[in-house]
Structure 1
Amino acid sequence: MTDGRSRPVIAVVGPTGTGKSDLAVELALTLDGEVVNTDAMQFYRGMDIGTAKLSLDERKGVPHHLLDILDVREEASVSAFQAAARAAIEDIHSRGKHAILAGGSGLYVRAVLDVLEFPGTDPAVRARLESEAESDGVGALARRLAEWDPVSAERLKDARRIIRALEVYEVTGKPFSAYMPRREYVQPTVQIGLDMDRSALHGRLAARVHRMVDAGLLDEVARLEGRGLREGKTASRALGYAQFLRVLDGDAEVEQACEQTIVATRQFARRQVTWFKADPRVQWFDALAPNVTEAALDLLGRSVS
């Protein structure tokens, strides 16, 4: 494969539970690569069991970047991640190695791979808009957005995104829709997608949630609750963590939280499939095929020796 600046970024994408992390490690071992995490919930220190974060043994000595970089109180930022991930890729490539992205957080993946500009923020403007939403209702803000940026108004329905779109318009004078990403890579890239039969995936996801519970997910949530999990706008909404916080509150039994997590995880996987299938550049592979690693290496112009 080509060295230097033209060395392609490799991204392993697809729905949760398909083995992206494991494939990334195998590719890294064969290609002399390093992994860059693109699972937004694996940014958080201590969120290990519920995010299916690979253990040190499972990483097989492959360096992993952008794992455990945030406290559970901190809010994940796509723009900050974009800068950090691109810097990690540049560093990996500068050392003659392959950068292999692994994770299914679609917007974060696109922020790294594609031309995507993030408009600035203004805390004072945002605070005022949030105050207006509380006093006048989000409907009034939605009507204002429809006047200023009808494209975004059609797409955005929740209060947080409507406020952000209005903030961008006030700060930059340009509609939020003008900043929508284009399917244009910033550097050579190969996207490898993993998927499988729906019933098989559903079975795997259910089994994984049960393993998480058996491995101590509730205890992990309790420890993180003591470190401010509830205060984290991003971390507190993570699959499994939101459901098991209700167990700590006495509002659900473990069995209920387990089933709710399974349902929510299946719904999340469906959204991931929709997101990644919409990108015609992704090359798809059956995650259950016995030769999936070899097939991916063939795509990359390499073969297992």
Structure 2
Amino acid sequence: MAAPPVIAVVGPTGSGKSDLAVNLALELDGEVVNADAMQFYRGMDIGTAKITMAERKGVPHHLLDILDVTQEASVSDFQHQARATIDAIHARGKRAILAGGSGLYVRAALDVLEFPGTDPGLRARLEAEHAECGTEALLARLEAVDPVSAGRVSDARRIIRALEVQELTGRPFSSFMPRREYYQPAVQVGLSVDREVLRERLAARVHRMVDDGLLDEVRLLDARGLRRGKTASRALGYSQFLRVIDGESTVEDAEAETIAATRQFARRQLTWFRADPRIGWLDWRDPELVGRAAQLCR
């Protein structure tokens, strides 16, 4: 018998994705797969609003707490892990429910999306050429072999990556861009928010994180190598509160900066998910939300 469609619960941070995923899992006999990149990290609990054991209500959760803060998150690695986890859930006769606001990670799990490899030697050569010749020279070279990518990128890191892929594979980097084509059958449920209410909710959430001990959590993770982590050290709240530890900011300023950055992130998430016509949107405050979401997924 064919596996049922994968369910994905998407939307901006603070919209209630984790709660809806748990309640859908209870309704549909499912298990939850995390697709929030920052929730991969052990110890990053308060600042990522990681769902607690009590809030999971006995529903199995996968791909939480799988990395140390010094490790770099990889979309390619996540794709393999998420698909294997989804297959295992389906093999148990359960429904797989992906939940998270990291848009590219959701697409990696759901969509036809290739990840070209890397070559450290080739990357080092291109970086040396950049140091010698500058960004404009490398952009001109990219324009000659991949004008589509050249029109999309401007920073040196992405230009070097596009040139690396082209030399490594013989294909333009732009040919690896994702298509809106499901890898396997899927249903996406989006949480439609009142933006002004969300703004206030995000502010209240950051205040609560600070009250719950975010600064102490950042101190603990700093001792475990947080600054060495390319992904974890950039997480909302963590980068701001590292500056408090360094004496470069006050708690009040870090709190205000985290609120502003979180609101900006939520706007970017909404833009990303609104661009996908396959998402079925439901009102996040609908008292019948779980039932309506379950109906979409049946």
User: Which category describes the TM-score, using the shorter chain as reference length?
Assistant: over 0.9
Give 2:218's match in structure 1, choosing from 209, 217, 221.
221
Matches within 5 A, 1:101-250: 101-250=98-247
The Cα offsets for residues 245-299 of structure 1, whole Å up to 9 and x where unpaired, read as 1111111100100110111111111111111000000000111122111111121
CA contact 1:5–1:93 (8 Å) conserved in 2: no
1:76 aligns with 2:73: yes
Q: Is the 8 A contact 1:44 1:70 kept in 2?
A: yes
Alpha-carbon distance between aligned partners in 1 of 2:217 and 2:129, rounded to the nearest angstrom: 38
* CA distance in 1 between partners of 2:169 and 2:74 (Å): 19
Letter matched to residue 133 of structure 2: D
The answer as to whether partners of 1:36 and 1:66 remain within 8 angstroms in 2 is yes
SS for the counterpart of 1:213 is helix
Q: How far does residue 195 in structure 1 lie from its aligned partner after superposition?
A: 2.2
Query: Following the alignment from structure 2 to structure 1, what is the Cα–Cα distance between the partners of residues 161 and 138?
Result: 11
- Given that 2:31 and 2:94 are in contact with CA atoms closer than 8 Å, whether structure 1 keeps it comes out as yes
Q: Secondary structure at the match of 1:191?
A: strand
Unaligned runs of 5+ in 1: none
Q: State how far apart, in whole Å, the 2-side matches of 1:137 and 1:261 are.
A: 34
Give the partner amino acid of 1:208. Answer: R
TM score, norm. by length of structure 1:
0.95
Structure 1 residue 136, shift from structure 2 partner: 3.0
1:38 corresponds to: 35
Query: Counterpart in 2 of 1:23?
Result: 20
- TM-superposition CA deviations, 1:230-256 (whole Å, max 9, x none): 111111111011111111111110010
The answer to whether the 8 A contact 1:6-1:187 is kept is no
The percentage of counterpart residues that share the same residue type is: 71
Deviation at 1:129, TM superposition (A): 1.8
Q: Does the CA-based 8 Å contact 1:152-1:165 persist in structure 2?
A: yes
1:18-73 CA-partner distances (Å, limit 9, x unpaired): 00011000000111110000000001111101001001111111111111111111
Separation in structure 2 between the aligned mates of residue 125 and residue 60 of structure 1, nearest angstrom? 49
SS of 1:74's equivalent? Answer: coil
Q: Which moved more, 1:153-162 or 1:254-263?
A: 153-162
Unaligned runs of 5+ in 2: none
Distance (Å, rounded) in 1 between the aligned partners of 2:77 and 2:256: 34
- 1:250 corresponds to which letter in structure 2? G
Q: What CA deviation, in whole Å up to 9, does each residue of 1:111-136 have, x standing for no partner?
A: 11000111111111112222333333
**TM-score under structure 2 normalisation?**
0.98
- TM-superposed CA distance for 1:165, in Å, is 0.9
Q: Give, as a single letter, the amino acid of the residue that structure 2 aligns with 1:121.
A: T
Equivalence for 1:62: 59
One of 6, 9, 14 as aligned partner of 2:6: 9
Does the residue aligned with 1:6 lie in a helix, a strand or coil? coil
Report the residue type matching 2:102 in the other structure: S
> How far apart, CA to CA, are the structure 2 residues paired with 1:28 and 1:269?
25
Number of residue pairs matched? 298
